[in-house]
Homo-oligomer: A and B are copies of this chain.
Amino acid sequence: MATPAPAHPTTERLTVMGAGLVGSLLSLYLARRGHAVEVFERRGDPRRAGFQEGRSINLALSDRGWKALGGVGVANDIRQVGIPMSGRVMHDVQGNLTRQPYGHDGQAIYSVNRGHLNRRLLDLAEGQTGVTFNFGQQCLGIDLKTKELRLRDTETQEERTAPYTRLFGTDGAFSAVRSALQRTDRFDYSQDFLDYGYKELTIAAGPGGAWQIEKNALHIWPRGQYLMIALPNLDGSFNATLFFPYEGAESFAALQTPAEVAAFFDRVFPDAVPLMPALTEEFFAHPTGSLLTIKCFPWKYNDDVLLLGDAAHAIVPFYGQGMNAGFEDCTVLNALFDEYGDSAWDTIFAEFQAERKPNNDAMADLALYNFVEMRDRVADPVFLLQKKIEAKISGQFPGQWAPLYSQVTFSDTPYAEALAAGQRQDAIMARLMPHIQAEADYDQPTVQALVQQEMAARH
């Protein structure tokens, strides 16, 4: 472990709770600013042999994430181990494929291995002067008045208290730091679960580590009330995830035996089944994960405690923005330090939550909306036609029309602005689409006149 930094007039000893993706990146940002940082993490060190990954194997990194990684100079390093996905490939029940690009040529989201990314960020942070990591430290409670953490060492089971001066809660959706804030007066909080769970499965690599379905795409099997997706891994396999109702005719509750699972997959995902040799074993061996949205406010307690990432705003995964939003928290916090200086804690914490709360609320709504899009609308030819027409408008009016997905994924436009712009554009598309039956219709004079009229009316 690195040696603590010497005392410095504008720096402080800071405490970070949680060394996941956001916690490790935040520690790196704080350390680069010259602060001494002590990090506590409930789980073991993921760089040690025998560490069990807890959650999704891969994640989709997009522009906001890259910007945050770029801010500490690690973007290129991570890009080497990411797989660009330039569009969605939809698989229908007959195995027919439909491709929908995510943006224009050259734009892509990246499938990145969560464990690799986390370990790389930990290495970088730990290599920084003044950062110390303490793994296997479960936070049992926090005394906000005396500013003390109650910790339990998960190996020795010994309990102890540790004081803090300033505490950053990056301990995820089930945050212990947020739990303490929840018991303070006037703390608004909600946790909302979907009636859907998820199950991680594997599409195997082909001979010689070949990808058996298109490598540079996010694959979707949209089935109306449920869906399966798959993201590529470097070893030729794909990490597939089934998002599926807990109860009902087609649900986890209805699939109780390997034979039932096999029959169901054969019927609804026939083109995937031959690529999933471990399907039934994995289905029963892997846990069923739940999907939740967490909203709360305030995210700060005086100028002592600040929540970031999933601890402040966990969202469902359907827009691929959970990690990106948490990383953007780091970018924004860092910019506030630049603006107000490293000791204006009260102002920085207040500005941070004022800026990030409406944006992460908007992202939470977008993520829920995208569940319907991914499981249902992407299978609708009219929807796909609309996406093509939107791309044409965007090309015809550069800088005046960015599709909602692009604003969320390929820009750092604040999420709330992206959502509002997307709603305005949706209203326009709802008026245009009745006049358009095919892609070529876009060039018809009557349609062009309507488009010109709509674009003029926007200003």
A residues with a Cβ closer than 8 A to B are 174, 182-183, 185-193, 246, 290
B182→A187 contact, CB < 8 A: no
> Which B residues are in CB contact (< 8 Å) with A290?
185-186
B188→A192 contact, CB < 8 A: yes
A299–chain B nearest beta-carbon distance, Å: 15
> Which B residues are in CB contact (< 8 Å) with A185?
193, 290
In the bound complex, CA of A193 to CA of B187 (Å): 7
> Which B residues are in CB contact (< 8 Å) with A182?
191
Contact of A191 among B174, B189, B192 (CB under 8 A): B189
In the bound complex, CA of A182 to CA of B182 (Å): 12
> Which B residues are in CB contact (< 8 Å) with A186?
193, 246, 290
In the bound complex, CA of A189 to CA of B191 (Å): 5
In the bound complex, CA of A290 to CA of B186 (Å): 7
In the bound complex, CA of A294 to CA of B189 (Å): 10
In the bound complex, CA of A108 to CA of B450 (Å): 63
17 pairs of residues in contact across A and B, judged by CB atoms under 8 Å: A174-B183, A182-B191, A185-B193, A185-B290, A186-B246, A186-B290, A187-B191, A187-B193, A188-B191, A188-B192, A188-B193, A189-B189, A189-B190, A189-B191, A190-B190, A190-B191, A190-B192
A172–chain B nearest beta-carbon distance, Å: 14
In the bound complex, CA of A409 to CA of B224 (Å): 44
A230–chain B nearest beta-carbon distance, Å: 25
A194 nearest CB neighbor, chain B only: B186
> Which B residues are in CB contact (< 8 Å) with A189?
189-191
> Which B residues are in CB contact (< 8 Å) with A191?
182, 187-190
> Which B residues are in CB contact (< 8 Å) with A183?
174
In the bound complex, CA of A182 to CA of B59 (Å): 28
A195 nearest CB neighbor, chain B only: B186
> Given A187-B191, A188-B191, 16 more contacts at CB 8 Å?
A174-B183, A182-B191, A185-B193, A185-B290, A186-B193, A186-B246, A186-B290, A187-B193, A188-B192, A188-B193, A189-B189, A189-B190, A189-B191, A190-B190, A190-B191, A190-B192
